[in-house]
């Protein structure tokens, strides 16, 4: 089975996703003063659920709700909830650009955590790239 390399389509989809996420963050910053964070979460979850169900129905894929790893899935849901709650709350106390730039430090943290928790081997090039990423993120935000 061969797969076609479709880099331009992938790049376009990534750019569209980044645009949508940026719009979502700006809307969240705008409406947070009038609406509860958890009301927005509920609406965001329902809209996401509807989009996923529609996608699965249109592509004739099965909707599978079970998991082979219920404990890990529960941990992931809890961490996701607190992570995005923290990010959205940060949007109310700092400028959108600063909160987003600090969010971009996450690749550095993920690499460090992978080294200690997953025992991943991190090469010199990857660590240099992460250090470069961290430097420019911190330089941009000027904490």
pLDDT at 111: 84
Higher per-residue confidence, 80 vs 100 = 80
Phi-psi region of 139 (alpha: psi -120 to 50; beta: other; left: phi over 0): alpha
Q: Would you state the pLDDT for residue 72?
A: 93
Q: What is the pLDDT of residues 76-92, one digit of tens each?
A: 989 988 888 887 787 77
pLDDT at 105 over 90: no
* Alpha-carbon gap, residue 7 to 96, rounded angstroms: 30
Mean pLDDT across the stretch 101-117? 81
Contact 137, 114 (CB under 8 A): no
- The pLDDT > 70 percentage for the chain reads 96
Residue 3 pLDDT level (bands cut at 50, 70, 90) = low
Distance of CA 97 to the CA centre of its chain: 16
Residue with tokens 């987003």: 100
- 8 A C-beta contact, residue 101 and residue 137: yes
CA of 54: how far to CAs of 48, 57, 115, in Å? Answer: 10, 5, 39
Q: Per residue in 22-59, pLDDT tens?
A: 888 788 777 777 888 778 878 888 888 999 999 999 99
Question: What whole-number percentage of the chain has pLDDT above 90?
Answer: 17
For residue 89, give the nearest of 141, 43, 32, 19 by alpha carbon. Answer: 32
Start-to-end C-alpha separation, the chain? 50
């Amino acid at each position: 089975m061969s797969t076609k390399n479709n880099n331009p389509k992938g790049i376009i989809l990534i750019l569209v996703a980044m645009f949508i996420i940026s719009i979502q963050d700006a809307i969240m910053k705008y409406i947070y003063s009038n609406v509860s964070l958890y009301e927005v979460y509920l609406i965001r979850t329902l809209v996401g659920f509807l989009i996923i169900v529609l996608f699965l129905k249109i592509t004739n894929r099965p909707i599978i709700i079970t998991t082979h790893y219920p404990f890990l899935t529960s941990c992931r849901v809890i961490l996701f909830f607190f992570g995005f709650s923290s990010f959205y709350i940060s949007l109310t106390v700092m400028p959108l650009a600063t909160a987003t730039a600090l969010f971009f430090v996450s690749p550095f943290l993920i690499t460090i955590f992978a080294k200690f928790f997953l025992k991943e081997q991190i090469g010199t090039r990857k660590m240099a790239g992460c250090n470069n990423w961290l430097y420019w993120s911190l330089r941009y935000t000027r904490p």
